[in-house]
Amino acid sequence: MLNITNDLIQLKQLIETKAQHPYLLKYIQKPSLDDDKLLLLWGLFNDVDVLSEERNQYIISTMLVQIALDTHEIVSNSGEGIELPEELKNRQLQVLAGDYYSGLYYQGLAGVGNVEMIRILSSAIKKINDHKIILYQQRSIKDVPTLITTIKAIEASLIFKLADYYNQPAWIDISEDLLLLNRLQAEMRNYLTSGQSVVFDVLRDISFDDSNSNDASEKEAQIRNQFEKCLRDARQSVKLSMQKLVTKNDYLLQRVNVILKQTESEVISYVKEG
């Protein structure tokens, strides 16, 4: 088996090199890689019968898709009002950068002649965008299970589609659960530092059976309790999903343990602040 640390470092360097464009980087932030998604992709493709060169291209292409999605996600909405020329240029370049990264993924897969992989990832992109609309559309989510399903779809559909294609259900489970936990952790941090979180906004719009009080502080406390339950459930799901993996992956286990410890300590802090 390849040395996982060196392999991931090499893959990350290849992805960053592919994503570099001197002109774009003068005006927009350098794209960041989600190391956990890269690790999950590496684990998945090392559990399936794929040539190493093809495996690397599939991982690189999938991460370029993720970069494209993330780049489009952060496009400013400032164009709704009056924009300064520099702001408009930055926003337009952000859109073009996302399109550029998408083009790189198509180019990479076309190079290995895998049309089926293009179809799989295109299907995942559509699913992700559909669920982003659901998440951000006001009052479109009526209950917590739908919220959780929506977040999982946004965060894990790329890996889900690939794992489903290769008949690797255990990798579907761990990817959905771990990336859900990561997203919830990020939302909690945003909420605690800035008071802003799309997940908390959705929870505020959901009617709970025991919501009888008109007191704003009590309602907010209830929202915090619901979020804490989501976070604790996600942590438990990650533990169970790790047990389903057939191939022992010590590197992933170490990473998961780090995330579990982080979220546990942050949950305790979150509860105390509440």
- Tokens, residue 50: 């794929």
Whole-number pLDDT of residue 214: 67
- Residue 58 pLDDT > 90, yes or no? yes
Whole-number pLDDT of residue 85: 73
CB 37 within 8 Å of CB 63: yes
Angstrom distance (rounded) from CA 210 to CA 218: 11
Terminal-residue alpha carbon distance, the chain: 47
Res. 226 pLDDT band, cuts 50 70 90: very high
- Residue 81 pLDDT > 70, yes or no? no
Res. 106 pLDDT band, cuts 50 70 90: confident
Structure-model confidence comparison of residues 79 and 105, the more confident one:
105
- What tens digit of pLDDT does each residue of 178-217 get? 999 999 999 999 999 998 999 999 999 987 655 555 677 8
Angstrom distance (rounded) from CA 251 to CA 63: 19
Whole-number pLDDT of residue 80: 54
Res. 141 pLDDT band, cuts 50 70 90: very high
Percent residues over pLDDT 70 in the chain: 91
Amino acid residing at 68: A
- Tokens, residue 101: 């990264």
What is this structure's pTM?
Answer: 0.90
- Residue 138 pLDDT > 80, yes or no? no
CB 247 within 8 Å of CB 47: yes
- Residue 145 pLDDT > 80, yes or no? yes
